[in-house]
Amino acid sequence: MSKPEFVYVTYIETTPEKMWEALTDSEFARRYWFGTEVRSDWKVGSPFALVSDGKTTDTGEILEADRPRRLSYTFKHELYETMREPATKVAFTIEPYGNLVKLTVTHEGFVEGSKLLGAVSTGWPAILSGLKSMLETGKPLAIPRAALGKEELAKEELDR
Amino acid sequence: MKIEQFKPAIVYTIYIAATPEKVWEALTTAEFSRKYFSGFAIEADLKIGGAFIARAPDGSVHISGEVIECDPPRRLTITWNVNWPALVEKLGPTLVTYEIEPAGEAVKLTMLQSHDRDISDDILSGGRAGWPAILSSLKSLLETGNALAIKMQPPERMLAALKEMGIGTP
């Protein structure tokens, strides 16, 4: 039985440089990441944060920043108590594939019985589908925030 | 065949700016599949027990199967058996389910590949590599009008594992 992790592969018609920009430019990311800002200076060792509606939802530290090939950071959820588990790791691998880019996202290091794993397994496909639509069509994907799956967990917290 | 005995081994979710009807059409007709699915033509008789075929450009049948569940445009389950000697005999049938749900103005498409027994990671590696390519290309086709030309390497790890089991690979 392999360790719990989430892996997502997508192919996008773009360049590795544009892909890197899309993942690290806060203004651009807001348009496909459901209004979330990605904040960092993207240097190894620097802090990293996801900020949504003025609230910090997740934090971490940059582990690798090999532009435009590979980006990775630790990832710790901060907002919902039920998902405040030990830090995990997110890695983006950007490979040229003819005139396309193959993007592999690996999110690993979850504890047994992780609630965060379920949330990110729901969230990443929505975020990355939005990223693909932005890069290929210039238009954001009009899917509701509920697609991130965190609303159910938030509701659980409120119901306690 | 008892569907309950089948468990998902590969799951891939993708959101597409299209209507459920359009996504259904793209998954079940040759006009679309030839563009995003490496030239294979899907021929589907969309009723329970109907034939579901993926035909190669040379006219040969690459994947043959049968419709198990059909609820347009929401859910389709088919057997998805690659036409290699002894494959179904040794691995059992493969089921593919497409779930199509509205998600705001877009569609959430979930593909589930299921088996009635444990299948090794080596054998699953073929599908794990293939499905993201097929469905990424389908998304691009529906959103931009152009499918992606993804040059896939042959899935060597899967082919070697199948060969070792005595399954006739090309």
| Domains, chain A, with CATH or none | 5-159 (3.30.530.20)
Q: Give A-chain residues touching B121 at CB under 8 angstroms.
A: 2
3-state SS of chain A: helix, strand, coil percent to 5? 35, 35, 30
Confidence of residue B17 (pLDDT cuts 50, 70, 90): very high
Q: How many CB atoms lie within 10 A of CB A17?
A: 12
Nearest CA to A148 out of A130, A124, A123, A125 is that of A123
| pLDDT higher than 90, residue B118 | yes
Interchain proximity B136–A12, CB inside 8 Å:
yes
Cite the DSSP H helix spans in chain A.
16-24, 26-32, 115-137, 150-159
Interchain proximity B15–A141, CB inside 8 Å:
yes
H or E, element range at B22: helix B20-28
Interchain proximity B148–A9, CB inside 8 Å:
no
Confidence of residue B169 (pLDDT cuts 50, 70, 90): confident
User: How far A128 CA lies from chain B's nearest CA (Å)?
Assistant: 8
pTM of the model: 0.95
| pLDDT higher than 70, residue A24 | yes
Question: Class assignment of domain B3-164?
Answer: alpha beta
User: How far B13 CA lies from chain A's nearest CA (Å)?
Assistant: 6
| pLDDT higher than 60, residue A143 | yes
Q: How many CB atoms lie within 10 A of CB A78?
A: 14
CA dihedral angle for residue B123, residue B129, residue B134, residue B135, rounded to 10 degrees: 110
Q: Give A-chain residues touching B19 at CB under 8 angstroms.
A: none
Interchain proximity A125–B14, CB inside 8 Å:
yes
Supply the pLDDT for residue A79: 93
